Amino acid sequence: MIVSEGVLGKLSDIINRHEETVIQPCVSQQTTEEIDQLRLKAQGQWFSAIAALETLLLSEIEKTTEVGFTSQGLILSAPTPILCHTTLTNQLQTGIFTLQMGQNLVRKRFQLPAAQSTCVNTDSPGITELPLSPQDPLLTEQFCLVLTPHFGLMMVLGEDPLGLPAFQFSFDPDVVEEGWLTLRSRLVMTHHPQLRQLDRCFQEFPPVAPNYRIVSQFSRLLLHYLPQFPALSSRKIHSFCELETSKKTAKKVADIPLHIPGIDEATDIALLQALTHEIRTPLTSIRTMTRLLLRGRELEPKMRKLLENIDQECTEQINRMELIFRATELKSKTNHNLGVELVPTSLEGLLNQCIPRWKKLAQRRNVVLDVGLPKKLPQVVSDPGMLDQVLTGLIEKCTRNLTSGGHLRVQVSTAGHQLKLQFQTESNQPNNPLQALGQLLMFQPETGSLSLNLDVTKNLFHRLGGKLIVRQRSQQGEVFTIFLPLGTNSVSYRTVK
């Protein structure tokens, strides 16, 4: 009965049927402006829920790995993938419901791996595109259904019982199971070849009532990531409009400091956190689809090279948005006590992974990159994942700031009880100018790129247990010197500064 009812139904209908709260307002009482506000509110909740889910899944995967689980879970979403973190995309089986582009394309190009004893192969995780017909009402909403050993969750950006825009979620096993059966009915109708394998996934991870701590943690994280947009008073809006009008008539836009009066640093942070989520989500979708296309064996070399470039560009932008989000998170007053895990880190291993990427990045921008390393590199005390992001962000900032033909030298050495990393830029021409954008970012008009400003970058290195010193060597170059504390195998550290 559930399947027959769910064939043409939406996931929001399932949650609405289980919703006990009686909503008083009538649809007719809502103005267009109020509906738009509800839609924006729901979208903000959706993006904050995605961030909360990522954080929750990362902590649960660590626990699951410790107790010996080989399979991590299943996640079905539409119309795009919602997870950005590589740990999650590598550990979770992923299915993406999208508008059907032709049965042959769906069946031949987007196949899950052959069925195994467990539904997730962590060495080669399965990603499949699942078809929806053009008339399917699921196309009108965004959703995510998650199955893990410890909990099941369904999140929907759709409509409430009155047809108003709303974000809803539920950990109720009955709701999650009914949601799964509703999605499964689509695969039954299309005779999808991977239905049996997905059924095995559901049997391995049936919806279970979660520990109350999981629900509590998700709710706290959702509120934590919820973007806040302080409203500008009418007087500030009027003043801002007058100011912008006078600027446009008096000066070129490129000469105007990109700062909005009345919006303080807290607002900057909220806006950036919301924007980075909204930017990362479609980029992750593009990258996922690109990698699916790269699996094809009949691609021409020219087309393969083009797809690889798209993948690389998306990855760089996703990483940049991730770093900006992380920086704003640490900068936020509400997150002042947010902890950064500092542990002994193999700098040799980290640099061996980073340097090939740095060289490709420099080559694309026609910048010469020289890296000088000692024969043996000691350990440093830092957060390895975040250190990778921040160093790569600094390399990217340097290469983008240099004009074509510029030179970037990286030297690594020890200085007492610290490790010294020095980034020195050289160019025969003036560097590309940077322009302040709000309280946290710098904008480069020549390339259109964004980067963290110097104060925020220094704060990041401070959080990593180190120190950044910047010296303007000449009009054509800068020297960035980073000091990190040395570490040993037997010592670990934690900081919440």
Span 126-149, pLDDT tens digits: 567 888 888 888 888 999 999 999
Residue 221's pLDDT band (cuts 50, 70, 90) = confident
User: Is this structure's pTM higher than 0.85?
Assistant: no
Q: Are 208 and 151 in contact (CB under 8 A)?
A: yes
| Domain-ending residue, one of 291, 315, 335 | 335
317 lies in the same domain as 400 = no
**Region 227-242 average pLDDT:** 43
110 lies in the same domain as 199 = yes
Residue 287's pLDDT band (cuts 50, 70, 90) = confident
Residue 230's pLDDT band (cuts 50, 70, 90) = very low
For the ranges 79-88, 314-323, 387-396, the lowest mean pLDDT is seen at: 79-88
Question: Is 78's pLDDT higher than 80?
Answer: yes
What are the residues whose beta carbons fall under 8 Å from the beta carbon of 198, sequence distance 6 or more? 74, 95, 112, 119, 184, 187
363 lies in the same domain as 426 = yes
427 occurs within a structural domain: yes
Residue recorded with tokens 């993006």: 47
Question: Is 326's pLDDT higher than 60?
Answer: yes
Residue 120's pLDDT band (cuts 50, 70, 90) = very low
427 lies in the same domain as 323 = no
**Region 192-210 average pLDDT:** 89
233 occurs within a structural domain: no
Residue 123, pLDDT score? 36
Question: Is 178's pLDDT higher than 90?
Answer: yes
Alpha-carbon distance of 437 to 15, in angstroms, equals: 42
77 lies in the same domain as 167 = yes
247 occurs within a structural domain: no
Query: Domain limits at 10?
Result: 2-225
51 lies in the same domain as 199 = yes
Residue 113, pLDDT score? 34
Residue 470: strand pairing partners: 480
Alpha-carbon distance of 1 to 182, in angstroms, equals: 11
330 lies in the same domain as 345 = no
Alpha-carbon distance of 146 to 206, in angstroms, equals: 10
378 lies in the same domain as 318 = no
Residue recorded with tokens 């987007």: 110
For the ranges 83-87, 166-170, 439-443, the lowest mean pLDDT is seen at: 83-87
| Domain-ending residue, one of 335, 356, 391 | 335
What are the residues whose beta carbons fall under 8 Å from the beta carbon of 208, sequence distance 6 or more? 150, 151, 152, 173
322 occurs within a structural domain: yes
39 occurs within a structural domain: yes
Q: How far is CA 435 from CA 254, 326, 478, in A?
A: 9, 21, 17
54 lies in the same domain as 190 = yes
| pLDDT above 70 as % of the chain | 74
For the ranges 95-99, 213-217, 258-262, 480-484, the lowest mean pLDDT is seen at: 258-262
Backbone angles phi, psi at 16, to 5 degrees: -65, -35
132 lies in the same domain as 270 = no
Residue 71's pLDDT band (cuts 50, 70, 90) = low
251 occurs within a structural domain: no
Alpha-carbon distance of 18 to 170, in angstroms, equals: 10
Alpha-carbon distance of 136 to 201, in angstroms, equals: 24
122 lies in the same domain as 86 = yes
- Rounded-to-10 torsion of CA 300, 306, 308, 314: -150
Residue recorded with tokens 């109708």: 189
Q: Are 341 and 494 in contact (CB under 8 A)?
A: yes
Q: How many domains does the chain have?
A: 3
244 occurs within a structural domain: no
Residue 480, pLDDT score? 92
239 occurs within a structural domain: no
| pLDDT above 90 as % of the chain | 17
40 lies in the same domain as 174 = yes
| Domain-ending residue, one of 314, 335, 356 | 335
pLDDT digits (tens, 9 = 90+) for 372-391: 988 888 889 888 888 888 99
Q: At what angle do helices 212-225 and 32-66 cross, to 10 degrees?
A: 130
Question: Is 175's pLDDT higher than 60?
Answer: yes
Comparing 496 with 206, the larger pLDDT belongs to 206
